[in-house]
Structure formats: structure tokens, C-alpha cells
Structure 1
Amino acid sequence: MGESCSKSKSFISRLLKNEPIIEFDDSSKIIIISDVHRGDGSYADSLRQNRNIYKAALGFYYENGYTLIELGDGDELWKNKDCLDIAYTYKDIFAILNKFHYKERLYLVFGNHDIVKSNSEFIKKQQKLFEEVGAEFGREMIYLYSNIPFNEGIIFKYMPSNNYMVAFHGHQVDMINCELWKWSRFLVRYVWRFLEGVAGFKAPTSPANNYDKGTKIDESLETLAKKEKKVLICGHTHNDIFPEPDQGLYFNDGCCVFPSAITCIEITNGEISLVKWQIEVGKKDTLYISKSITGGPEKLQKYFDYAKQL
């Protein structure tokens, strides 16, 4: 645990060497979602307000044959010590994730808020905890987490041109949330969580709550993408980013905890798009969930060609 925060000269090289490779082509359908932050259903649960939007999006992507990449911070395990309440609150969501897994269309990446899932002993501890309390409601989560690996990243290989993209959470360039993640977790769990509930106070160590910090991390990741001449797809900062094909190589899928909206990245027909799901008001003041494209679509090959020019 904590190997994702290695101080090696290039962790991109480590990811390319060690992480699973997904080969895809123009017929493939891929959806990348990060920073879901599934919580305990309380005031501190950041996903609570967007639960139905998130569920609708998952249902759409499952029914339409997409491979789902959860790109870190799927569960809120800084505010919560274990998975008991998360499993109960989101048992219907884990049932859908299991359906993706049964079809071999699910990959899980850990971020800083759920980095403990990279430790097999944590998963075993959760199994034992559920057995002790007789928590039948947790079977969907426990089954999934006992049968699927947690990766630091995913490598996408675009066929037939053999170009690579690297997807990871993004906390690897954020010292406070990487090398010092245990210290940050302590503050979130025992200080900021309660101040958030009482006075709406936001944790200053979080790039999602600190615009300047998040922007600096995004800039670091863009610089890294150009240095490595690789398309990088991340989350972590909660800033949805979609560069023009001749201007950048760094994408960010945003998050699932925007006010009444979630964002994600779709890859279909050899194209990449930034997508938003949100609640809209229809005729006769009825509410419905809409899907819209806010970035792209753009041909991936344009980005690969741009990288070769750097």
C-alpha cells in the first residue's frame, strides 16, 4: 500500500510496465468515471445528491455495451473507516457494477481516497467484518471486491496504430494527497468532516475544494503528458478538462459530485468526448436526467499525431 506514491523519476514508466493493457479499436465503447466518492448516506456523503444521476448513467452504459473504468476515489474511505455503511447505502449500485464484472467489462483503479483498497489485507478485513455483523446487505460489494483487482492505472492500446494512452487517478503528482496521504486522511476523517457538517467548511487540502491547488495539479499533469508524449486521462482535481487536438494531451473526466451533475469521458468510434449527465426540467415541470456532450468528439488519432510532433 502506498506504492502509487513512489518518488521514482517517472511513475509513467512504472505504469506502462506493470498495469493492465486494454486493446481497443474503433468498434470499442469505453466509459471513464472517477471521483464517485460513494459514502455512508449521511450529510458527509458527497454522492448522495447525485445518486440517481450516477445510477442512470451506469445503467445506460451497461445496457449499451460499454467497458467501465472507475478511475479512483470510487469509495469515500477517508471519511469512513470501513465499507459497512457504503455497502448498505449503495447496494443497488454494486449490483450494477457486478453486472459489468460478470461481462468482463469492469476495471477498478484506486485513488488517494480509496488507496487502502490496494492492500489485499484491507479487503480481507472487510470480509471478516461483514461476517461478524452478519451483514447480508453487503454481499454485492464484498463479492465484487473479493474477485477483482485494484490497479494503479490502466494502459489503453489503440489498434491498429499501437498508440498508447495512460489513465490513472492523478494524485501521484500531489504530495499532500500522495506521500502525505495518511496525514491528510486523518484531518479529513477527524476534523474537516465534522466542520463540513456544522458550518459547510471545505477541506483546504483537497484540490477539489481549492481552485488554485487543483489548477496547479492540472498544469503539472499537462506538463507531464507533453514530456512523456502520451495522452493522459485522470481525475482527482474534479476539474473536467478537454484539450483541443493541437494544444494538449491531458484529459480530466471531472467527477460525480458536481451540484446536480456528473461528468465522464466516453471513447467510441475512435473518438473521445467529455460528457455531462444532469437533471433538467421538461414539459409540465417534470424532471428528467439528460446526457450532453460538452467536449468533442475528437478523433484520438489527432492527439497521437500531435504527441509525435513534440
Structure 2
Amino acid sequence: MKEQCTESNDFFKRLYKNGKLIEFDEKSKIVFISDVHRGDGGYADSLRQNRNIYKAALGFYYENGYTLIELGDGDELWKNKDCLDIAYNYKDVFSMLNNFYDDNRLCLVYGNHDIVKANPEFIKRQERLFANAGNGFGREMINLYSNITFYEGVILRYMPSKEDIIAFHGHQVDFINCEMWKTSRFLVRHVWRFMEGVAGFKPPTSPASNYDKGTKIDHILGHLARKEKKVIICGHTHNDIFPEADEGIYFNDGCCVFPSAVTCIELTGGKISLIKWAIEVDSKDVLYINKTIIGGPENLEKYFYYAKQF
């Protein structure tokens, strides 16, 4: 694990050089949502079961003035080689994302499953595919992706103390899903995708499907946060994590593909909270989507203080 953290200085330098800088204060409202895995609407589309929960969360955050940071793996581009089916099946979602973008309240970070977004040539290829489809096909997605910048990470600077939170997907410390992502993508796209649909098989290299692997990645990220003395927010492992301030400074927003639940992290009023969106049943047996705080809220200043103590 130490070897995987030895290059953290270079990684952080790269993020500070190329990442998105967002200054915020106690009046700001920010939400981190990762591992959405928007797919083609078929049996291997991990978001399909939580589509309405996810849309309800997006609607709430837009109407209440939040800045949305999608922290990687927004689209499932390992199982799908292009964006055509994703755009078709989630055009309503991309309309909502465009609303955030038009209000300058959207930041998109790529993860390992959509790392191809970092390559401008991939977006140009999508533009050609959509143009060939004709009739304005997928305009909600392609209009957004042709104009927005995809980042590897975000530096959130809390004012006026100027303490930083570093947010990135988290695959950067996962050798199989970072250095060997092309091999992993091939196996997911051509082998495990179909085994998942037929027999419920889960990819053994995925931290989301392997508890031990996910826990090891979370441990590495927690070590990285303490080593760099920075509060870190990630996704990738699908494990929602919200530590006490004296226990750690690494947070994980979970994912959108839990069984009947979506988790995320909010920064509001100078505090940090872990949120769960889920389908509930009221006293009249009517289904509704409920928002629950499952971690916090805790003052950010507490974590900034303890970050200096590790």
C-alpha cells in the first residue's frame, strides 16, 4: 500500500495544476454524486433500478441552488463503447445536467469507467456519431459534452481560511483500474457484462463488487489523506464513508447503484453531511422518495484542524 502512495506528491501537483479550483464559503451549497453508471437501459445498466431516485435527487439539488460535482463514473463507458444508447435512454437526465451547466453549477470529473472523456478525440468521435444519427439525436448529451471540461479532480478552497478539500474519483490508487484500465475495460465489455446479465456474476476486479478490494482501496485513500494532511472526498469503491474528525479525513460519497438507494455528500453552511436517498412507504402504503442524513452534519473546520494533527 505504501508503494501506491509514494507518487502522491506528483499526483497532487498534477491536480493543483490541472484540476478545477472552486472557492466556497459557509453560504455555498455543493453536492458530490459519483458512480452513477448511466447505461444503455438494458439488463447490464446498473442505474436502471435507481433511475427515479437519482432524478429526484438531481431535481432537489437544482431547485435548491446546489453546485453539482459529478465525481467520476457518470457514464458506463466500459460496458458501452460509445454514448449513443446512454444519450437516448437518459435524455431527461442530460436535460437536467444542462440546467446545472447553464447556471454555472456543474463540474464533471472522470473516473475509470469514463476515463475516455479525458481524451478530446473521444468527444469529437461522439459528435460525428450523433451527427450521423441525425434529427438532433442525443442533443441533450452532446451539447453538454461538447462544451464542458472534464477534470481529473477538484480543489475546493474554503474561504476565508483557505483550507483545501481535494476531490477526485479514487481509481488513481487502484492499479488494476488505473494503470490496467484498458485490460479491465475489455474484460468488462466482452466477458463480465454478459455473465452479469445471465448469471448475476460480478466482476472480481471491481472494488464495487468485491468488499475486500474496496476496503483496501479505501484504506489506501485514507492513508493518502493523512499523509498529505488534506481532507479528501472520493467515490470509486461504492462504500459510503463518513469518519469522526479525530478518526480520519477521508470521505466517500458511495454511489447511485445501491439496491434502491443513492448516497452523496453535501457541503452546506460550512458543514459536511452524508446523505441517503431511498424509496420509502408511508402509512397509506404509498411509495415516496425520502432524503435522510446518515452522517453529520459536522463542521468542516473540525476536519481541517485534525488534518494538521495526523
Q: When the two structures are superposed, what TM-score results if normalisation uses the length of structure 1?
A: 0.97
| Per-residue CA distance 1:283-309 (angstroms, 9 max, x = gap) | 221000000000000000000000112
Q: Does 2:148 align with 1:139? A: no
Letter in 2 for 1:282: D
- Rounded to whole Å, the distance in 2 between the matches of 1:116 and 1:30 is 26
Distance in 2 (CA, whole Å) between partners of 1:299 and 1:8 is 27
What SS class does the counterpart of residue 45 from structure 2 fall into? Answer: coil
**Where do 1:137-286 residues align within 5 Å?**
137-286=137-286
CA distance in 1, matches of 2:53, 2:265: 15
Q: Secondary structure at the match of 2:79?
A: coil
Instruction: Note if contact 1:91-1:137 (Cα within 8 Å) is conserved in structure 2.
Output: no
Distance across 1 between alignment mates of 2:267 and 2:168: 16
> What SS class does the counterpart of residue 96 from structure 1 fall into?
helix
Shift, 1:137, TM fit: 3.3
Structure 1 residue 8, shift from structure 2 partner: 6.9
1:23–1:159 CA contact under 8 A, matched in 2 = yes
CA contact (8 A) 2:192 2:203 kept: yes
**What does the per-residue CA deviation read over 1:220-276, in whole Å, with 9 as the maximum and x for residues that have no partner?**
000000000000000000000001011101000000000000000000000000000
- What secondary structure does 1:285 align onto? coil
Q: SS at the partner of 1:226?
A: helix
> Which of structure 1's runs of 4+ aligned residues deviate more than 2 A?
6-10
Query: Cα deviations across residues 204-225 of structure 1 (Å, max 9, x unaligned)?
Result: 0100000000000000000000
SS in 1 for 2:308: helix
Q: Structure 1: give runs of 5+ residues left out of the alignment.
A: 1-5
Deviation at 1:9, TM superposition (A): 5.0
Letter matched to residue 35 of structure 2: D
Task: Check whether the contact 1:16–1:155 (CA below 8 A) recurs between aligned residues.
Answer: yes
Distance change >3 Å, CA 31–CA 304, structure 1 → 2: same
- Partners of 1:56 and 1:170 lie apart in 2 by 26
**How far did 1:133 drift?**
1.7
Residue 109 of structure 1 contacts residue 169 of structure 1 at CA under 8 Å; is this kept in 2?
Answer: yes
Structure 2 residues not aligned, in runs of 5+: 1-5
> Aligned to 2:138, what secondary structure does the other structure show?
helix
Residue type matched to 2:252 in 1? N
The DSSP-based 3-state class of the residue aligned with 1:95 is helix
Q: Secondary structure at the match of 2:263?
A: strand
Post-superposition shift, 1:12?
A: 1.6
Q: Distance in 1 between matches of 2:9 and 2:163?
A: 23
Aligned to 1:3: none
Distance in 2 (CA, whole Å) between partners of 1:155 and 1:8 is 15
Length, aligned pairs only = 305
Cα–Cα, structure 1 residues 299 and 139, in superposed 2: closer, same or farther, change >3 Å?
same
CA distance in 2, matches of 1:97, 1:267: 19
SS at match of 2:137: helix
CA distance in 1, matches of 2:180, 2:215: 20
2:291 partner SS = strand
Identity of aligned residues (%): 74
TM-align CA RMSD: 1.1
Any idea what SS the aligned residue of 2:296 has?
strand
> 2:18–2:151: 8 Å Cα contact kept in structure 1?
no
CA contact (8 A) 1:278 1:290 kept: yes
TM-score by length of 2: 0.97
Aligned twin of 1:16 = 16
Amino acid corresponding to residue 243 of structure 1 in structure 2: P
Q: Give the corresponding residue for 1:97.
A: 97
- What CA deviation, in whole Å up to 9, does each residue of 1:83-125 have, x standing for no partner? 0000000000000000000000000000000000000000000
Cα separation, 2, equivalents of 1:241 and 1:273: 11
Residue in 2 that maps onto 1:111: 111
Measure, in 1, the Cα distance between the counterparts of 2:205 and 2:228: 28
Q: Secondary structure at the match of 2:222?
A: helix
Query: Contact 1:279–1:290 at 8 Å: present in 2 too?
Result: yes
- 1:27-66 correspondence runs (5 A): 27-66=27-66
Contact residue 164 and residue 231 of structure 1 kept, 8 A? yes
